[in-house]
Structure 1
Amino acid sequence: MPDRITLVTALQGAGWHPAAWRVAGPAAQRLTSLRHWRDVVVEQDRLGVDAVTIEDSFTAGPVDAAGDLDTRTVVGRLDALLVANAVAPATRAVGLVPTVSVTHTEPFHVATGLQTLDHVSLGRAGWRAQVSPTVREAALFGRRPGGDDAAVLFDEAREVAEVVRRLWDSWDDDAIIRDVATGRFIDRDRIHNAEYEGSFVSAHGASIVPRSPQGRPPVFSLAHRADAAAFAVDAADVVLVTPGYGGREARDLLDEIRHLEQVAGSDVRRPVLADLAVLIGSSAAEAADELAALDAAAGAPYSVGSGSDTSVLATTVPELVALIGDLRALGYAGVRLRPLRIPIDSTAIARQLVPGLVTAGLRADVASRPTADLRTRLGIAPAVSRYASSSSLGVSA
């Protein structure tokens, strides 16, 4: 676990509250523009946030009780992976973690797209792996029936994650030799076939993208239910847990992840981040009033079990700093915060919360923050290729 609290901002449209677009001002008109995303991400980068996650889905937006798109909230989105690649050149240190589904996306495209982001960002790419459980999503692809059998979806997700890792490892770090004398651009013995035959996916051959700066971009996974938590321990480097969901407390959730690691025989203690939805006001009363106004505009409260799968906090910066300190004391590596309003709350996270955490001794100031790759910033060990030992012996796998 890093000696400083990890702070991640979760970006989604105009914010996580369904009525956030009503208070977003000009930003609500630019949700499908690169300018919107660049402005928001650059602010997080400049002021010291460790990483941003970018939400994505195979649906254009949430659906209402009749199964139609809910027109009261933001409908329509840009591809998260493409957005991350587009904003990468404008940023310096922040990790870029797009959501990419493992359910209908071919592992080859997942692997190469994220490797490309890792190259473009100079080692700041991550991946939030997500399953796509609905018939509506499956219908877009027309290749197979959809369903919500979670066990099957997560078994498939494990296989996809394994193939992705194999493709990430398929090029050695030094596979490109550029030997002008012999006319060889690569050493073929340093490129390995990602051989895999599973129940859901199979792969034969190597990635088209040379090994990226991190080797394996860190994988984030949301452990908001038991089957998702088991997948996260099997396949992820960073686990996101949701206090309040299903009545689960922060201490219990952390204990569950550590228990699953023990059962799995893992000697790695993954960074666990508490995933919280926040509205930040200048006072507790003001924050509560502003959340109530959003709920009234949406026609329903946004809370655990009512639109949110985690605790929704109408809070102040000092209260949030104290909460994060308490989570740190429990053993959490940090937090992922879902701003209910973008840019209002995302700006408060960057401009007010970061300095508050510095003052509390939970983070170093921006000037001294590490600018290394994302794995290093998260306190995750460097990725070692499965072919490293054979490569060092000059043996092709």
Structure 2
Amino acid sequence: MSRDGLQLAIGLDVASYSGNDAPAFWSKLVSDVGEIAEFITLEDGFAKPARDGLDAIILANWLAPRSGNLAIIAGAPVSFLEPFHVSTAIATLDYVSEGKAGLLVQQFQGARALDALQAIGSLKGFPDNDVSALQDDTRDAVDVIRRLWDSWEDDAVIRDKQSHRFLDGSKLHYVDFKGPRFNVLGPSITPRPPQGQPIVAATHRSAQERSHTSFADVVFLEGENHSVESFEQGKAPLSIADIPVTYGSVSEIVERVRTLSGTGIFGIRLILDDPESQIPSVLEDLVPALKSASLIRPPLKGSLRDRFGLTVPTNRYGTAA
């Protein structure tokens, strides 16, 4: 895998645009950034008081057939959704995108968590608005999501016309998760994704402990005080630095990226909080400047795991040959 420059991603909040032409807007945006970015992240605006926008995973599944080489990491606040449904939706996204999908695990705290709890109402199985309970629930949810991706072995679908069997039932497995707040038996209703395990990503904020994102394959570093060294890169997932396009002028952002490029990060994610107004300058000014400075590389091809240099993991439930 080439490391001639940093990987470039674009970070978007689905709630940032909710016009009547939202599908056309997002479709055009994907087309516009597809030639310059490795992937986009779509953060879900779940339960935002002002507007929450489209469902990020549903939007991602709609965009994926229109995304060409662009990969999509779709967001979900996993502590306030059913892990089973998130798992099957991301597995579907991996099929629709032909192996270019991932899950952005959104971790709500404080007011955001309270808004989410009020939105779902008094339902059993969801955590209290407590930092420790929310962290534990996030880890449990991701564990279940990953187990469900493995609950079908790769050769479970046999399509045997002679025996009239579509599946080999012995290749489907219960995950049998039992936690303090919820239980999931499994197996999934969706075959194992093309990547085996789609990429799991999370955002790490400067004030957080490392354990907040220990479940992730890829971590987005938010804030200015991060470095590979301080993030214990030897033990950590791949690190990508977040840079809001409001950080400063084009030249200031280029210098920021130049500084970060010497810290061992894998890439950068440009954060657009108002994509409708910001995307033209990103495409016309910022990205050309980053290219001219030889700080970013062209998007690779292949699965999203391939682009991160990650192999397809062994199925934990796989039977011995």
What is aligned with 1:383?
A: 313
Q: Does 1:53 align with 2:53?
A: no
Q: Percent identity?
A: 30
- Deviations along 1:195-236, one digit per CA (max 9) or x if unpaired, are 211222221121000111111111111111554631212x10
What number of residue pairs does the alignment pair up?
315
Change (3 A) 1:333 1:124: same
Partner of 1:38: 27
2:137 to 156, 172, 176: 156
Match of 1:66 in 2: none
* Mapping of residues 159-174 of structure 1, within 5 Å: 159-174=140-155
Q: Distance in 1 between matches of 2:210 and 2:20?
A: 32
Match of 1:242?
A: 222
Structure 1: give runs of 5+ residues left out of the alignment: 16-27, 62-68, 70-74, 263-268, 280-312
Indicate whether 1:110 and 2:69 are aligned.
no
**CA separation of 1:336/1:107 partners in 2, compared to 1, >3 Å: closer, same or farther?**
same
- Per residue, is there more helix in 1 or in 2? 1
Aligned-pair CA distance for 1:80: 0.6
CA deviations over 1:167-205 (Å, ceiling 9, x no partner): 000111111111222222111121111121122222112
Say whether residues 1:216 and 2:197 are aligned partners.
yes
TM-score between both structures, scaled by the size of structure 2:
0.89
Counterpart mapping for 1:1-397 below 5 A: 3=3, 4-12=5-13, 30=19, 33-45=22-34, 47-61=35-49, 69=50, 75-133=51-109, 134-142=113-121, 143=123, 147-227=128-208, 229-233=210-214, 235-244=215-224, 249-251=225-227, 254-258=228-232, 262=235, 269-279=236-246, 313-316=247-250, 318-365=251-298, 369-388=299-318, 391-393=319-321
Normalised by the length of structure 1, the TM-score is 0.73
Q: Deviations over 1:292-329 (max 9, x none)?
A: xxxxxxxxxxxxxxxxxxxxx1211x442332232121
Structure 1 residue 347: deviation in Å? 3.3
Aligned partners of 2:272, 2:76: CA distance in 1, in Å? Answer: 20
Deviation of the 1:31 alpha carbon:
6.2
Greater Rg by CA: 1
Q: Alpha-carbon deviation of 1:79?
A: 0.7
- Residue 55 of structure 1 aligns to which amino acid in structure 2? E
Distance in 2 of aligned mates of 1:96 and 1:82: 12
Alignment RMSD (CA, Å): 2.4
User: Aligned-pair distance for 1:354?
Assistant: 3.5
- Counterpart CA distance in 2 for 1:357 and 1:34 is 29
For structure 2, the 5+ residue unaligned runs are none
Aligned-partner Cα distance in 2 for 1:30–1:325: 36
Paired letter, 1:392: A
Letter in 1 for 2:153: D
